[in-house]
A = this chain, B = another copy of it.
């Protein structure tokens, strides 16, 4: 049974043959020793090797969000590992499943927000006006605005600060970084309090200025966090805390099921 319409039946990413593996038209054996994993990731997704600036900010982005302590997804992974230490892949998968929109999907939403602001700019209004309008619209509609605010990093997100500073230092900051900065002010005005630009917006803005495709931006949080998850699971194998995390969580919750007279 074929579900949906049938389109082209092709894949351009790689081909494995008995005597060679080609990746995006290049011989893998040739690439080995010449490209870093980060460059290779860019090649896999886009079909071409990154420029030096693209490589620099892709590495930067991956590092910036690979690790953030005992996040919910790390805890889910450590609890899962504790239940079956032989299945490392299962524990990593449980952690990857926690990279959903609320937590780690924001870079892609930020990219779209910048598209919206810069789209308005192209239609003739000033960047200041475009940013204010977009911030205002989100606030009016009581929608959260991606890329601003953080539960822990206040008043500033040090990772975003560093990233934007490097983009300016290296001269790669362009319209996207500028728009993200203007949005910071516009958001503060619309919300009536400062919300720091967070790392997701910094990633989206710096990479957008370098024409890094959306498919790469979307993949960054998952690839980055996978590195962090592997580190936590390596530690969990030595210093298990998965079940302790669960015990402490459970203690904090009132179980009301047995409060009725019937069972007491």
Q: Which A positions have Cβ atoms within 8 angstroms of B?
A: 1-4, 6-29, 31-33, 35-38, 40-41, 44-45, 56, 58-60, 62-64, 66-73, 75-77, 79-80, 82-94, 96-105, 151-154, 156, 158-159, 161-163, 166, 215-216, 218-219, 222-224, 226-228, 230-235, 237, 239-260, 262-263
Contact = CB atoms under 8 A, between A and B. Distances in A.
A76 to B, nearest CB: 4
Contact of A45 (B56, B85, B230): B230
A36 B36 CA distance: 9
A171 to B, nearest CB: 14
B90 A79 contact: no
Given A28-B64, A70-B249, A90-B93, 4 more contacts: A3-B72, A12-B257, A18-B154, A69-B250
A20 B154 CA distance: 10
Q: How many copies does the complex hold?
A: 4
B21 A243 contact: no
Nearest to A16: B69
Nearest to A58: B37
A45 B231 contact: yes
Contacts of A20: 158, 258, 263
A119 to B, nearest CB: 22
Contacts of A227: 37, 40-41, 44, 219, 223
A244 to B, nearest CB: 6
Nearest to A38: B37
Contacts of A230: 41, 44-45, 215, 218-219, 222-223
23 contacts: A1-B69, A1-B250, A3-B103, A4-B82, A4-B243, A13-B69, A13-B228, A13-B232, A17-B152, A28-B159, A32-B63, A40-B62, A41-B230, A44-B230, A72-B243, A82-B102, A86-B100, A87-B90, A89-B97, A90-B97, A216-B234, A218-B234, A241-B253
Nearest to A84: B100
A253 B29 contact: no
